[in-house]
Amino acid sequence: MDHGIHIEGLSKRYGDGDTAVEALKDVNMRIAPGEVVGLVGPSGSGKTTLLKCLGAVIEPTRGRMTLGGEVIYDSEQGGWKTPDLRALRRDRIGFIFQAPYLIPFLDVTDNVALLPMLAGRANSASRARALDLLRALDVAHRAGAQPSELSGGEQQRVSIARALANQPPVILADEPTAPLDSQRALAVVRILNQMANQYQTAIIVVTHDEKIIPTFKRIYHIRDGRTVEEAGEGREIS
């Protein structure tokens, strides 16, 4: 069974009649476990809409989505396949944004441990998981720091750890390198590839960052709501 991301015939329409806008048109994508894939396209092309559909933030108009081997949406079978979309987002999907959005009054460890705690895992187990991830991402020495005490690169590493905290099969990264210089941007991509391989997570990176696009082995271009797949350069990151 494919435990990555599988999208079939996904479409999203806003409005009705003459004013209707087809933001997504019959999108098909497949990302394997352990794979990091780029999603690129101009502003207004449908990138954000696609990410919101995958993240169970908005409902598609038609199509089918499978995440981590589980069908989460099928328009021919009544739409969403789970009654609790909040739990789906919390337990099955990791989110990484352009800004880290760390909780300012929690230290680094608690920022990462919060999601497992909310999912019902014991505090001690949640914090142990957080520390394991912080070590893997080389920021364990900042475990007791407040977000305001971290550099931009450290904050982004913590946000990656938080996205992995519940061991989701899928991570959606929205412009994760936009505010970073070339060296730090490539470091983030290197980390995402390492984490995808280590935890067999399927990762989609929405980006227009020319610094990192050559690193992807596969790229989906989206324009006017339609996607086209092409082989990327897969350039090694030194």
**Could you report the per-residue pLDDT of 45-64, keeping only the tens digit for each?**
889 899 999 999 999 999 99
Total domains, the chain: 1
Whose tokens are 């995808």? That residue is: 196
The residues, any chain, with a CB within 8 Å of residue 225's CB and separated by 6 or more, are: 11, 12, 22, 23, 24, 25, 27, 45, 46, 49
Query: pLDDT > 90: what percent of the chain?
Result: 61
Segments forming the whole domain that contains residue 28: 5-231
According to the model, what pLDDT value does residue 238 have?
Answer: 66
Q: Is 161 exposed, middle or buried (0-12, 13-18, 19+ CB in 10 A)?
A: buried
> Does the pLDDT value for residue 66 go beyond 90?
yes
Q: Which residue has the higher pLDDT, 236 or 215?
A: 215
What integer best gives the mean pLDDT of the chain?
90
Please give the pLDDT value at position 104. Answer: 95
Q: pLDDT confidence of 1, banded at 50, 70, 90? A: very low
| pLDDT, tens digit (0-9, with 9 covering 90-100), for 182-233 | 888 888 888 889 889 988 999 999 998 888 999 999 999 998 899 998 888 8
Beta bridge partners of 66: 6, 71
Given a cut of 80, whether residue 149 has pLDDT beyond it is yes
Give the contacts of 124 (CB within 8 A, at least 6 positions apart): none
Q: Write b or e for each residue in 6-34: b if 16 or more Cβ atoms lie within 10 A of its Cβ, otherwise e.
A: bbeebbbeeeeeeeeebbbbebebbbebb
pLDDT tier at 153, thresholds 50, 70, 90: confident
Domain membership flag for residue 207: yes
Helix (H, G, I), strand (E, B) or coil at 124: helix
State the average pLDDT over residues 4-18: 92
CATH number at residue 186: 3.40.50.300
Q: Is residue 74 part of a domain?
A: yes
Residue 57 domain-assigned (yes or no):
yes
* Cβ–Cβ under 8 Å, residues 62 and 83: no
CA distance linking residue 62 with residue 76, whole number of Å: 8
Domain-embedded: residue 126: yes
Percentage of residues of the chain with pLDDT beyond 70? 99
pLDDT for 2 equals 59
Q: Compute the radius of gyration of the chain from its Cα atoms.
A: 18
In a domain, 238, yes or no: no
**Domain annotation covers residue 237:** no
Tell me the pLDDT tens digit for each residue of 106-147.
Answer: 999 999 999 999 988 999 999 999 999 999 888 999 999 999
Instruction: Report if residue 185 sits inside a domain.
Output: yes
Note the pTM of the prediction, 2 decimals.
0.89
Give SS3 for 231: strand
Over 80: is that where the pLDDT of 180 sits?
A: no
Separation of alpha carbons 61 and 90, rounded Å = 23
**Is position 151 within any domain?**
yes
Label residue 176 by pLDDT band (50, 70, 90).
Answer: confident
